Structure 1
Amino acid sequence: MNQKRNKFPVTPLQAAFQQTPRVVAFVDTLLLYLSSFGLVVFLYDIGFKNEIVEPRFLHYFYHVFFLTVLTCLAVRSLILIRDGVRRPSLIFEGLLLFFMLLGVVSRFLLQNQMTSSSTLLRFFDSEQPIYFVIFYVFFIEVSKKTLLFYRSTVQPALVFVLSFVFLVAVGTFLLLLPQATYSGISFIDALFTATSAVCVTGLITLDTATVFTPTGKVMILILIQVGGLGIMTFASFFGIFFQGSSLKSSLFMKDWLNEDNLGQITKTLFRIVSFTLGFELLGAIFIYASLQGIPVEILPDKFSFAIFHAVSAFCNAGFSTLSLGLFDPMVRYNYHLQIIIAILVIIGGLGFPIVFNLARYVRYKVLDAIDRMTPGIPIKHTPRLLNVNTLIVTITSSILLVVGMVVYFLLEYNNTLAEHGMWGKVVGAFFGSVTPRTAGFNTVDMAALTAPTVLLYLLLMWIGASPASVGGGIKTTTFAVAILNILSLARGKDRVEVFRREIGNESVDKAFAIIILSLLVIGVAVFTITIFDPQMELAAVAFECFSGFSTVGLSVGITALLSAPSKVVLILTMFLGRVGTLTLIVGLLRKVSTLRYRYPKETIIIT
């Protein structure tokens, strides 16, 4: 049977729209490759002194790139809108298109002298908007590709470890760029600094303030931010936001985010990223306000100082743009600044599930108080708002903070705190109790601490922050579960109970495994460094290894004096402390399925 011919032939444009998935996929691939090449050109532009490539060529490339991306984004947005695809990403792509069109119009008006030059027009006439577009498009398109990991059979623990390896490698390459430092940097120092930044440790072999250029400091700041939350967290956030989530992606991220409800995975991911960026911005504002008494001649760029230290504090990194850190005379007596940074460190080290649970509890109490004051409105009651994790973390952290503060105050009253008044001593003791909990900032001379204080610091550093946070250490819950298990054994109980709940045997086993592995890694690190650098004091080496494994960053001043092999040992120690030795073992070993047999039990003589 002959088919009737269509009276209206299909135009090429209509035929293209009929192949929507292929067109969108082609545009996505084109944008990925184009933005990748643009990023390489950008890194060359900022990392090298343009002696080989003509600056005019870079100028033309940026403009061609800008117009090509503008066209691709416009085509993709029109196709998705035509097909009725509703995503929040369309709003952001619309804003980006408006931003780019404004740049094109501004350049046209300035080149034809049709308007007077203003600050906004001069900004669009520069190449800074193009830099923003390069990073925006590259990160979004790469984030979409990361969703392919969820379809693989690779264990989430191994992907987590490999993501940090990749980030350290990228950070090392960036810090090796000539424009990142004033006079160059060796490979081992670049690797050490990149690892310390990605693992939010803060140990340094080179002075961040004098060795690295503003470009290098921005690179370190980005490594701290991405390393603090994890590159997969950032990538998953943007990938899901612009591509959408799936059941596989939710199952893949369940362990990372410590969220058992699969329906809340995407929401939790968004809350983590938005809370982090928002709290860091708030902290930067308060830090900036605390610096107003410092003359411009001494600290010219207060805004950059505030942003850097807010991110470094919340991520518990301990990096500073001052050579002496917060011990610098310029901020040594700025107690408001120290309190702000201490609060950022505490919030960042509590862990996101704990912070969100506490926020929900406070919100419930406020609404409950309002309901009680309002007659006629029934009072809503929600049982057990604070879960066991929150109670254990809050109580353990509070005890460690108070005990550490009191002991530090008594031990250092006439030593490192002697130059301060009473209020300064209190703030110094408070800060001294907070900073060993993986923060790494110092307001006193670390080499002048008394021996008992050093031992106190070793304990606090080893315990570290809380799980699902940006901090390191064995974690407060591990320490608390171990203590509770010891008390249960002493009382003759066959299980661990707390707050009318029973702690699972798996949690108890993990706690003791983490403790043993941490002591093993630290012990091997100390033993190895004493072989490579036998001239170093054992106490100083032990302090350095505890600080590295717990991602603290405090040092008694021997980091820069270590030999290259010892620096490699510290690099591995920092990496294992950040990703977790148990996590690495789980990622490398294949999980055994549920055993369907049992051997006869035997009792092993322990005591």
Structure 2
Amino acid sequence: MKNNILDNIITQTLKNRISFWYKLIIFLISALNIAACVIDYGFVLNDKEQNVIFNIYNIAWWCYFITFFVRIVFQWKMINRKTISLTTITGLLLLFSALPKFIPITEASALYNIWQFFSNKHFIILTLLLFAALEVSSGIINFINKKTNPALLMTVCFAIIILFGALLLLLPRSTKEHIVLPVADAIFISTSAVCVTGLSTVDIAQTFTYEGQIVIALLIQIGGLGIMTITSFFAIFFMGGTGLFNQFALRDMIGSETFSSLISTLLYILGFTFIIEAIGAFFIWLSIHGTMNMNLHQEIFFSIFHSISAFCNAGFSTLSGNLGNPTIMYNHNAFYIIISTLIVLGGLGFPILMNFKKMLSYKSGKFFDKIFKRKKQRPFYSHIANINTKIVLSMTAILIVVGTIIIAISEWNRAFAGMPFFDKIVQSLFNAIAPRTAGFNSIDLTQFSLITIIFYSFLMWIGGGSQSTAGGIKVNTFAVAMGNFFSVIKGQKDVRLFNREIESDSIRRASAVIFGSMLTILIFFIGLVIMEPNISAKGLLFETISAFSTVGSSLNVTPLLSDGSKIWVTILMFIGRVGLITVLMSFIKHSETPKYRLPKDNVIIN
């Protein structure tokens, strides 16, 4: 009996060691494969160097091919359905790429073109990258630990993406000939893209090639989805997403109502994002087609880039001077309206869009039941539009209308002087929407009056909806704070919004967010004033609010910043995107609630 137990222990220990070294080797090969792809597409290589890269691809392909079959044979019962789907997809792609290797055919065959596609270098590299990304992500998250604080996981993921993005922007093929991008600028722009801010220390159009602009677009897309989707996606598949702690954290992170709907929520967010961006790109293309001295390829790229940038509230543009460039500024009102619509949709927040889906499904179902006289039992909803939807929609509408009126009155005969009547209306609307974290500029902001700049800063600070691509303190926070303010004035003991009593936790969190935002802005503003004594305090304060709120608007201060100031603003953009509370929670251990209560007392306020 003892011998059997000892044999089992030895066998299990041996299995664990083999598993450890096997995973480590696959992780290292995957990291090497990603590095090879970066070098291959980022540098101009000679034949000898290309041969080395090809050998790395070949080694990685065989390792992944063997890994796929090992998992299928030995780990089939241990792999959950979600992981099976990922493994199957990557495995099938590997099998497709293997067909031309093991089953060669002649040009006369009907399958020749398909075989050519499967043997195409770009298809094989994409397959290897997918496999490598899954392996590296799995390794990193398993290394961090299965019970990692989701706030820490989110912070680390953003930091890794930013550093990797900066590395890609430093590659020779990312920048135009004879341009060497400083490391500080690469980190700044990568952070600005991932944090969907839009601030840039260089002219995007004059500095980056198509490859570099594609990298920026991908970083924007990752950043726009990052908090809600990418972190959640990897967490579900690789950090034991079936755990109750993780499911609670991820459910709140992406606005899912139930545990069972986590995956469907993630897929809906992804699908909705890409569909809206595709529709937006199509309408942008229609609005600029044949009017900007671009060929078809350039028009399509321009449309896709600006659709992604607008929906993700990033504010980056491939035009010099942003959207105030003369090629787009005049006779393109439709373009500005489309961009504004995308900004608003991206700034609503994915929980609101999920609620829209629920409302649409419910209302359309009842409508068709009446049309076709179906007697289908449907659940009754007294308030199908939840309080978050009501707050975000009402606050968004109020801020847009009030902002448009104030900017129109303030700048009608100033910054908008000489424009046709309808152009002034469109520009007023656009410049009321853009400050709420999009950061697109159609007018040089230095032309705006002080009143407009102050109101612009206020809009930047408020931002968009919670769990959206927007930044700022969020309209939800501002609405709760306003509700608390009026409840104190009225002498009410509770805070009420839309016939609902707001939870005390929400009020506490809103107060913490507002205090944290003001403290952060103050600290970073003082830091900039110390480091940049030759730049006006007004410009530095505006820059600070813009960076914290991930807006991207500037009073032409960003290009003047020193390297130290760039890093300082980079840190601020990161805090603004991830959230001060999230950053602090990721490093500060949560204290357990004591089992006793202290005596209550009153603090004199006012």
Normalising to structure 2: TM-score of the pair?
0.87
Q: What is aligned with 1:509? A: 508
Q: What is aligned with 1:271? A: 268
Q: Give the drift of 1:369.
A: 2.8
Question: 2 CA distance for matches of 1:441 and 1:190?
Answer: 20
Amino acid at match of 1:351: G
Amino acid at match of 2:601: E
Provide closer, same or farther for how the CA distance between residues 122 and 555 of structure 1 changes in structure 2, counting only shifts above 3 A. farther
Q: What is aligned with 2:150? A: 156
Amino acid at match of 1:482: A
Question: 2 CA distance for matches of 1:501 and 1:557?
Answer: 44
Question: 2 CA distance for matches of 1:256 and 1:231?
Answer: 7
SS of the residue aligned with 1:330?
helix
Question: 2 CA distance for matches of 1:299 and 1:325?
Answer: 21
SS of the residue aligned with 2:315?
coil
Q: What is aligned with 2:286? A: 289
Question: 2 CA distance for matches of 1:154 and 1:537?
Answer: 43
Q: Give the drift of 1:272.
A: 2.0
Question: Residue by residue, what CA displacement relative to the aligned partner does 1:166-200 show, whole Å, maximum 9, x if unpaired?
Answer: 22222222222233223211121111111111111
Contact 1:416 1:449 (C-alpha < 8 Å) held by counterparts: yes
Question: Residue by residue, what CA displacement relative to the aligned partner does 1:425-452 show, whole Å, maximum 9, x if unpaired?
Answer: 2222221111101001112222211221
Amino acid at match of 2:132: F
Q: What is aligned with 2:10? A: none
SS of the residue aligned with 1:38?
helix
Q: What is aligned with 2:248? A: 251
Q: What is aligned with 1:12? A: none
In structure 2, which of residues 154, 162, 168 is the aligned counterpart of residue 168 of structure 1? 162
Contact 2:251 2:257 (C-alpha < 8 Å) held by counterparts: yes
Q: Give the drift of 1:278.
A: 2.7
Amino acid at match of 2:185: D
Q: What is aligned with 1:58? A: 53
In structure 1, which of residues 198, 203, 206 is the aligned counterpart of residue 199 of structure 2? 203
Whether 2:42 is the aligned partner of 1:44: answer no
SS of the residue aligned with 1:230?
helix
Amino acid at match of 1:584: V
CA RMSD of aligned residues (A): 3.2
Contact 2:464 2:475 (C-alpha < 8 Å) held by counterparts: yes
Contact 2:292 2:328 (C-alpha < 8 Å) held by counterparts: no
Q: Give the drift of 1:245.
A: 4.3
In structure 2, which of residues 337, 340, 343 is the aligned counterpart of residue 342 of structure 1? 340
Give the length in aligned residue pairs. 586
Q: Point out the more displaced range, 456-465 or 306-315.
A: 306-315
Contact 1:167 1:231 (C-alpha < 8 Å) held by counterparts: no
Contact 2:175 2:181 (C-alpha < 8 Å) held by counterparts: yes
Provide closer, same or farther for how the CA distance between residues 235 and 491 of structure 1 changes in structure 2, counting only shifts above 3 A. closer
Question: 2 CA distance for matches of 1:571 and 1:441?
Answer: 19
Question: 2 CA distance for matches of 1:157 and 1:84?
Answer: 27
Q: Point out the more displaced range, 155-164 or 92-101.
A: 92-101
Q: Which runs of 5+ in 1 are unaligned?
A: 1-18
Q: Point out the more displaced range, 591-600 or 375-384.
A: 375-384
Question: 2 CA distance for matches of 1:119 and 1:502?
Answer: 64
Question: 2 CA distance for matches of 1:105 and 1:290?
Answer: 49
SS of the residue aligned with 1:331?
helix
Whether 2:579 is the aligned partner of 1:580: answer yes
Q: What is aligned with 2:429? A: 430
Amino acid at match of 2:565: S
Question: 2 CA distance for matches of 1:262 and 1:388?
Answer: 21
Q: Which runs of 5+ in 2 are unaligned?
A: 1-13
Whether 2:332 is the aligned partner of 1:332: answer no
Q: What is aligned with 1:96? A: 93
User: Identity of paired residues, percent?
Assistant: 35
Contact 1:371 1:379 (C-alpha < 8 Å) held by counterparts: no
Contact 1:140 1:239 (C-alpha < 8 Å) held by counterparts: no
Give matches, 1:54-133, under 5 Å.
54-66=49-61, 68-73=63-68, 76-77=71-72, 87-89=84-86, 92-93=89-90, 95-97=92-94, 99-101=96-98, 104=101, 126-133=120-127
Q: What is aligned with 2:366? A: 368
Provide closer, same or farther for how the CA distance between residues 239 and 96 of structure 1 changes in structure 2, counting only shifts above 3 A. farther
Question: 1 CA distance for matches of 2:234 and 2:153?
Answer: 18
SS of the residue aligned with 1:447?
helix
Contact 1:237 1:269 (C-alpha < 8 Å) held by counterparts: yes
Question: 2 CA distance for matches of 1:362 and 1:122?
Answer: 45
Provide closer, same or farther for how the CA distance between residues 66 and 150 of structure 1 changes in structure 2, counting only shifts above 3 A. closer
Contact 1:406 1:429 (C-alpha < 8 Å) held by counterparts: yes
Question: Residue by residue, what CA displacement relative to the aligned partner does 1:260-292 show, whole Å, maximum 9, x if unpaired?
Answer: 532322322222223223322232222223232
Question: Residue by residue, what CA displacement relative to the aligned partner does 1:363-391 show, whole Å, maximum 9, x if unpaired?
Answer: 32233233334446368432211111111
In structure 2, which of residues 213, 226, 229 is the aligned counterpart of residue 217 of structure 1? 213
Amino acid at match of 2:368: I
Q: Give the drift of 1:560.
A: 0.5
Amino acid at match of 2:282: I
Contact 2:96 2:118 (C-alpha < 8 Å) held by counterparts: no
Q: Give the drift of 1:92.
A: 2.2
Question: 2 CA distance for matches of 1:351 and 1:448?
Answer: 32
Question: 1 CA distance for matches of 2:590 and 2:71?
Answer: 43
Q: Give the drift of 1:356.
A: 0.9
Give matches, 1:408-427, under 5 Å.
408-427=407-426
Contact 1:163 1:231 (C-alpha < 8 Å) held by counterparts: no
Provide closer, same or farther for how the CA distance between residues 350 and 135 of structure 1 changes in structure 2, counting only shifts above 3 A. same
Q: Give the drift of 1:396.
A: 0.9
Question: 2 CA distance for matches of 1:105 and 1:443?
Answer: 57
Amino acid at match of 2:389: T
